[in-house]
Amino acid sequence: MTASTTYRIAPSILSADFARLGEEVRHVQAAGADFIHFDVMDNHYVPNLTIGPMVCKAIRPHVQISIDVHLMVSPVDALVVEFAKAGADLITFHPEASPHVDRTLSLIRDQGCKAGLVLNPGSPVEHLDWVMEKLDIVLLMSVNPGFGGQSFIPSTLEKCKAVRKKIDQHVSVGGQPILLEVDGGIKVDNVATVAAAGADTFVAGSAIFGAPDADGRYQGVFSQFRSALSAIRQ
Ligand code: DX5
Ligand code: ZN
C-alpha cells in the first residue's frame, strides 16, 4: 500500500442497538464511517437470521454514505434486486451461494450497484479468476460468517496479500480499481497489520458498537482506528 491509499471504515450494524438503528447509523456516519456494512443472514446459507431489504430501506434516509450489503444468503439473485430497490450501493455475495457467479455479478451492476465476491476463510482465491473485470470489491472473511464478535483468523493475512497481488496485477494492465475489504475480528490493535497485508477497507462490528464511549457517539473509537491506520502510512 502506498501513502496515497484511502482507508475506509465500514461499521457492521450487526452489533448496533437495533432498537435505535437510525440514531446508531447517524452517529457512526458523523464519527467518520465510510460505509454502513449491512449483514444479511438467512438461517440457510449461515446459521443465523438477521435483517432484510425493509431495514435497508428504513435506514437509507438516515445516512448519505454508501450502504455495503453483505449477503450471506442462498439463493442470491432475487435479494439483489430487492436490496438495490431498498437503496444499497454495494452488494457482495459468496460464490458458493450462487450457481451462476458471473450472472449474479452482472445482475448487481445492472441494478446500478457496485458488485463484489466474498471469500470465506476456507474458500480459495481462485474464485476471483475469470470475473475480475466484474468486481468492484472483494470481501475477505477473517471469521466464519454467521456471527459478530469472533476472533480474527490469522491465515487471512497471507490470503489478503495474495488477493492484493491479483488486484494490483489487474489494475497494472488497465483493469478497473477493486476495493479489498476484510470482515471479522477487526479491532484497533490489529487493523494496521491487516492494512499492511493489503486491505483498504475494514469492517468492524463489535469493536465499534461495543466500544466504551462516554457519549455513545463513537468518536473515540473512530479516532483510534484512524490513528492506527495513519501510523502505517509512513
Ligand atoms: C460476520 C459478519 C461480520 C460481523 C463482524 O458474519 O459478516 O460483518 O458482523 O463483526 P465483528 O467486527 O464483531 O467481528
Ligand atoms: Zn459482513
- Answer yes or no: is 3 within a domain: no
pLDDT at 1 over 80: no
C-alpha–C-alpha distance, residues 174 and 218, integer Å:
39
Q: What is the DSSP string of 139-161?
A: EEESS-TT-SSPPP-TTHHHHHH
The CATH number assigned to the domain holding 162 equals: 3.20.20.70
206 Cβ inside 6 Å of ligand 1: yes
Averaged pLDDT, 158-175: 98
- Answer yes or no: is 51 within a domain: yes
Between CA 152 and CA 161, with CA 158 as vertex, the angle to 5 degrees is 115
Ligand 2 center from residue 172 Cα (angstroms): 29
pLDDT at 169 over 60: yes
Ligand 1 center from residue 173 Cα (angstroms): 33
Pocket test for ligand 1, best of 28, 39, 41 (most atoms within 8 A of CB): 39
Averaged pLDDT, 138-162: 98
- Answer yes or no: is 2 within a domain: no
- Return mean pLDDT, the chain: 96
- Answer yes or no: is 75 within a domain: yes
**What pLDDT is stored for residue 92 in this prediction?**
99
- Answer yes or no: is 234 within a domain: no
Among residues 34, 42, 68, 183, which one is catalytic? 183
Closest listed ligand to the CA of 68: 2
Strands 66-72 and 201-204, bridge-based pairing: unpaired
C-alpha–C-alpha distance, residues 100 and 184, integer Å:
26
Residue 161 neighbours by CB distance under 10 Å: 13
Q: Which of 3-7, 152-156, 230-234 has the highest mean pLDDT?
A: 152-156
14 Cβ inside 6 Å of ligand 1: yes
- Answer yes or no: is 59 within a domain: yes
Residue type for position 71: L
- Answer yes or no: is 1 within a domain: no
C-alpha–C-alpha distance, residues 148 and 14, integer Å:
7
pLDDT at 41 over 70: yes
Between CA 4 and CA 10, with CA 5 as vertex, the angle to 5 degrees is 145
- Answer yes or no: is 12 within a domain: yes
Residue given cell 501510523 in the structure block: 231
Averaged pLDDT, 70-80: 98
pLDDT at 79 over 80: yes
**What pLDDT is stored for residue 234 in this prediction?**
46
Ligand 2 center from residue 145 Cα (angstroms): 7
168 is catalytic: no
pLDDT at 67 over 90: yes
Quick one: the chain helix, strand, coil %, rounded to 5? 40, 20, 40
pLDDT at 4 over 80: no
pLDDT at 118 over 50: yes
Residue given cell 477497507 in the structure block: 201
pLDDT at 221 over 70: yes
pLDDT at 214 over 70: no
Kindly report the pTM of this predicted structure: 0.97
C-alpha–C-alpha distance, residues 139 and 28, integer Å:
21
Number of structural domains (the chain) is 1
Its domain, for residue 131, covers: 8-229
